[in-house]
Copies of this chain bind each other. A is one copy, B any other.
Amino acid sequence: MSSVEEPRIAVERDGAIATVTLSNPGKLNALTVSMWRELARAMNALSAEDALRCVVLRGAGTEAFAAGADLAEFAKVRNNAGQGRAYHHEYVGGALKAVGECRHPTVAMIHGPCVGGGLELACMCDLRIAGESGRFGVPINRLGFAIAYDELAALLLLTGRAVALEILVEGRVWEAKEALAKGLVTRVVPDAKLEAEVRATAQRVAEGAPLVNRWHKRFVRRLAPRPAPLTEADIAESFAYFSTGDYRIGMDAFANKKKPKFVGK
């Protein structure tokens, strides 16, 4: 677990600012089960610290924020609806919840791909600052599976229905400029200035009264209108893709680097 090459979540502190790094070397920081779980634990632990003022969430290196879930382990850990519920609700949902409910303000620092689960994590942060290399999308209709409700809710926190549908149904990956115009990121700067801009922003946040920042996060959540509670049938439907042929077609095509030919069942 200690090798620098293993998937992991690193936490560093610089005064009152903590940096949480998503690291999966050679895989554009794609998130594994162990990373989702470690991220939830790390964020919950940081949230409990009274002396912190701001948490920065980033990918290791400057190549990617996170290219989504690590599909390589899907065959083992997420291969049927039962595993899917555990994977998405417990592991992914747990990490999204921990980021979203962190008491301290959070800033996502985004280089390169910020896709699928990576984008959802960024959506749960309070601010999203991207370099021009930022790339944004949720192209899972190419893989034959659907977004889980917790993850869709993360997207809809930021964007209205139109942008969420565009990103999901068209399956394109957007450049930073388009993501900015559509409200998916807070601001875009040249990559060479990204670290400095994030540091300056975290510093500005950290200079505010910390209890006030925590209250403001709570109050904004409190005023959000909510949909009717999800039923068991809603949740079951959201994992029904596991029993489709198109799910196998999508995953096989991805594994074999081919374009999938979906059949609609």
Please give me the residue from chain B that is nearest to A53 by CB atom.
B264
Contact partner, A264, options B51, B228, B264, Cβ 8 Å: B51
- Looking at chain A's contact residues, the main secondary structure is helix
**Contacting A170 at CB < 8 Å: which of B127, B145, B158?**
B127
Residues of B close to A147: CB separation below 8 A: 216, 219
Asked whether any CB of chain B lies closer than 8 Å to the CB of A18, the reply is no
Contact with B along A151-164 (1 / 0, CB 8 A): 01100111111111
Contact of A237 among B146, B215, B217 (CB under 8 A): B215
With CB as the reference atom, state the residue of chain B lying closest to A156: B223
Mark A169-194 against chain B: 1 for CB-CB distance below 8 A, else 0: 11110000000000100100000000
Please choose the segment from A22-30, A60-68, A82-90, A203-211 that sits at the chain B interface, where 4 or more of its residues have CB less than 8 A away: A203-211
Give chain B residues whose Cβ lies under 8 Å from the Cβ of A166: 126-127, 186
Chain B residues closer than 8 Å to A152, beta-carbon distance: 216, 219-220, 223
Residue of B162, B217, B222, B230 near A165 (CB, 8 A) is B217
